[in-house]
Structure formats: structure tokens, C-alpha cells
């Protein structure tokens, strides 16, 4: 099985992590960090200005540095459509 992944940044360390996307909507992205018994789910929500998605996993902040509009366009492309008209 080939699960969709995204790259997020841990703000404390600056490390880039690959995480598996469980559910992706413009208002929230659910991801899983780690594998197996040690995996952790995290909800990423848009920042107030919509420029990124941020969440908290085990006390650590993680950021997906794509805007809400970028995520909408990604979802359209993944569904096989052209980008929506602005």
C-alpha cells in the first residue's frame, strides 16, 4: 500500500519529518507520525492568516508550510481535476 505523505517541520529542532496523511480537508489535515505501536496522530489546522498548518504532537509543535489555498489546489489535482478558478 502506498500511503500519501507530506513533509512537516518540527519547530523546536527544525527537523523535517515525513508523515502519513490520514485525512486531508482545507480546514484540517490529520497525520500519523511514526509507525506501529509508537505512532501518534496529530491534527494540523490552518493558522489564522491561512499561510500554514500547525499542530501539536506529544508536546512538540509541527508545521506544514503550505497555505490553505495550496492545499485546496493539491486536493483538486489529486482528484484529477484542473486547478479551480480563482
Residue ranges per structural domain of the chain: 5-78
Per residue in 1-28, pLDDT (tens digit) is 578 999 999 999 999 999 999 999 999 9
Three-state DSSP state, 11: coil
Nearest to 66 by CA among 77, 80, 58, 82: 77
What is the grid cell recorded at 68? Answer: 490553505
Beta bridge partners of 7: 18
pTM of the model: 0.86
Residue 6 contacts residue 31 (beta carbons within 8 Å): yes
Distance CA 17, CA 8 (A): 5
Per residue in 29-81, pLDDT (tens digit) is 999 998 889 999 999 999 999 999 999 998 999 999 999 999 999 888 887 77
Amino acid at each position: 500500500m502506498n500511503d500519501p505523505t507530506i513533509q512537516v517541520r518540527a519547530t523546536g529542532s527544525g527537523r523535517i519529518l515525513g508523515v502519513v496523511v490520514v485525512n486531508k480537508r482545507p480546514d484540517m489535515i490529520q497525520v500519523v507520525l511514526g509507525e506501529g505501536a509508537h505512532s501518534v496522530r496529530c491534527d494540523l489546522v490552518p493558522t489564522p492568516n491561512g499561510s500554514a498548518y500547525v499542530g501539536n504532537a506529544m508536546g512538540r509543535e509541527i508545521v506544514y508550510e503550505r497555505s490553505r489555498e495550496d492545499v485546496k489546489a493539491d486536493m483538486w489535482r489529486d482528484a484529477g481535476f484542473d486547478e479551480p478558478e480563482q
